[in-house]
Structure 1
Amino acid sequence: MDRREIAALLAYIGRLDPRTIRTEKGEASDQIAQWHVLLADVPPATPYGWDARIAAHQHIRTSPYPILPADIARPWDSYRRERLARHTDPTPLADPNDQIAYTAELIGTRRAVATGSVQPREDRAITSGRGRIDPELKARLKEVGSCIPPAARAALRPFRPARAAREAAVAQGRPDALAVMCEWCQAPVGMPCRNRRIGPKDGTRRTTPRATPHSGRLDLATTQQAQEPQRLQQPTPA
């Protein structure tokens, strides 16, 4: 805010709280100069939600103490932080090899968001919680079958043998061993079984993932798969 905007803000505050009014010309000038030094980087208002008069009104309405420049600066800093926390940097149009231009564009975008000139750009996550998938995304995943393209999945198979074996089993209608916990190595659901290397004093020294599940885990998954149709056919209690 410039000195004229500071004077207008102080006049508005004086109407709400006469304790802030300075009647002497020298005192009024000093007050404007003080507030201008402390709030020079705070705008009077922005197109998206910030208004210094609202911050002043809120303080006067809720606090018994006379308003100070900090009571305007603190809400402004909170406004800036909240907007930047919701912002995801878009890819700059500048050439990424031109580091100066690329960085300048990023800084300019963030400054515009922080000062309220433009709205934050929010890139939402695929899901907003367990079981709450966006309907459009859900339909798209149902259409393509997976968020990983088939070519990429095939290229990853040599590096993910346990997952590849699991996908092959599910595709062929065989039980999914990773759908249950392994009672032998205690591998949780969704994680591959592990081999344990025992030390001289019977303590586990290290573990390594297995490409195939333990036989007991596969038997448990087979039993669970066989019981699933029976469970679904049971009548629901009234």
Structure 2
Amino acid sequence: MDRREIAALLAYIGRLDPRTIRTDQGEARDQLAQWHELLDDDMPMATPHGWDARAAALRHVQVSPYPILPADIARPWKSYRRDRLSRHTDPTPSVAPDDQAAWTAELVGARRAVATGAAQPAQARAITSGRDGVDPRLEARLREIGSCIPPAARAALAPYRPARAAREAAIVQGKPDALSVRCEWCLAQPGEPCRRRRIGPDGGARGTAPLATPHPGRLDLAASQQAQQPEQARQPATA
């Protein structure tokens, strides 16, 4: 605030609390100089985003029996600044990142605007889920190719993930999805490939190498569960 704004604030406070009024011209000048010295230069009289120095003065007069001091305005102002900066996430500057000076200047300017109430805090975008969060262009592309992995990439990856490739091939052929159930032999959980399970002399399991094909018992269990489902409820599992 400049000296004119501080003078207007002191006149407003004087109407609320006559004890703060200085009738002597010299005392009034000293009071104005003191307040101007103790209040931040970047403190505005009011902002469109929730700060008003007159409201802070009014709250103090309403709850405190003591005459107001500059600290009673500066304290809520600093709290206002901290709250806004704590809710602010720096957006990516529009300048080239190679220009370090311009990059830093834009970040500092954005933070100063948020702290002084000239701009609203920029918050990080939340992760969306569900149908409302799907980009229509992405949805159209998925309908076009049928999967988020293009067929050429899926074929190139098949030698490096044999269990998934076998699962996808079985689903395409209409066979039951063995990985949708728990394997009773190797105890692999749904979605996990079966593992080679060898029993040692002490009864403990030996060897846990993943298998490209599921155990026969797991296939039988998946087939039996598929046969129990109604025809209209059968949906191919997502690979």
Q: TM bucket by the smaller chain?
A: 0.5 to 0.7
**1:162 offset after TM fit, Å?**
2.0
Aligned residue in 2 for 1:73 = 78
**Number of residue pairs aligned between Structure 1 and Structure 2:** 217
Q: Per the alignment, do residues 135 and 197 of structure 1 end up closer, same or farther by CA in structure 2, a change over 3 Å counting?
A: same
> Could you give the per-residue CA deviations for residues 17-67 of structure 1, whole angstroms, max 9, x where no partner exists?
64995745334432332221xxx5666677xx6342289569939x94674
| Larger Rg belongs to | 2
> What TM-score do you get using the length of structure 2 for normalisation?
0.63
1:69-218 correspondence runs (5 A): 69-84=74-89, 89=92, 94=96, 98=98, 101=99, 104-105=102-103, 108-109=106-107, 112=110, 115-116=113-114, 117=119, 120=122, 125=127, 127-129=128-130, 133-134=133-134, 136=136, 137-195=138-196, 202=203, 207-218=208-219
> What TM-score do you get using the length of structure 1 for normalisation?
0.63
CA distance in 2, matches of 1:148, 1:177: 21
**1:73 offset after TM fit, Å?**
2.2
CA distance in 1, matches of 2:44, 2:14: 21
**Contact 1:194–1:210 (8 Å) recurs in 2:** yes
Which stretches in structure 2 are left out of the alignment for 5+ residues? 235-239
* Root mean square deviation, CA, Å: 4.5
CA distance in 1, matches of 2:121, 2:214: 50
Give the aligned residue type for 1:115.
A
Give the secondary structure class of the aligned counterpart of 1:83: coil
Match among 30, 37, 44 for residue 34 of structure 2: 30
